[in-house]
Amino acid sequence: MVGDFRALNTYTTPDRYPIPRIPETLTQSSQAKFITAMDALKGFHKNFLTDNSKKLLRIIVHCGIFEYLRMSFRIKNAPSHYQRMMNTIFPEELSE
């Protein structure tokens, strides 16, 4: 089931947390002694939502009302929140 959050996103205050730029990241990683890859595809879905957020992300369909329990794609501030989480978990690795 997929939610259409375009209307909600228009009312959401943008979280201006910076996302790394690809050219800078590539330049920085070219100096690294070790490089690793991490599959972060499901990373958004590892973040639980607050009760207030769950209420905003409800989906109403013919068979009932459903709500997300975890962060999902298509939510305006999800990328910023995810990047902030990654910077908190890996501060040294992402700052070098």
- Residue 12 belongs to a domain: no
- Residue 68 belongs to a domain: yes
- Residue 3 belongs to a domain: no
* Residues 71/43, Cβ–Cβ less than 8 Å: no
- Residue 23 belongs to a domain: no
- Residue 93 belongs to a domain: yes
- Residue 31 belongs to a domain: no
- Residue 55 belongs to a domain: yes
State which residues form the domain around 68.
Answer: 40-96
Domain count, the chain: 1
Q: What is the pLDDT along the chain (96 residues), one digit of tens a residue?
A: 788 999 999 999 999 998 888 888 888 778 878 777 777 777 778 889 999 999 999 999 999 999 999 998 899 999 999 989 888 888 877 665
- Residue 79 belongs to a domain: yes
65 CB-contact burial (10 Å; exposed 0-12 / middle 13-18 / buried 19+): exposed
Q: What is the pLDDT of residue 96?
A: 59
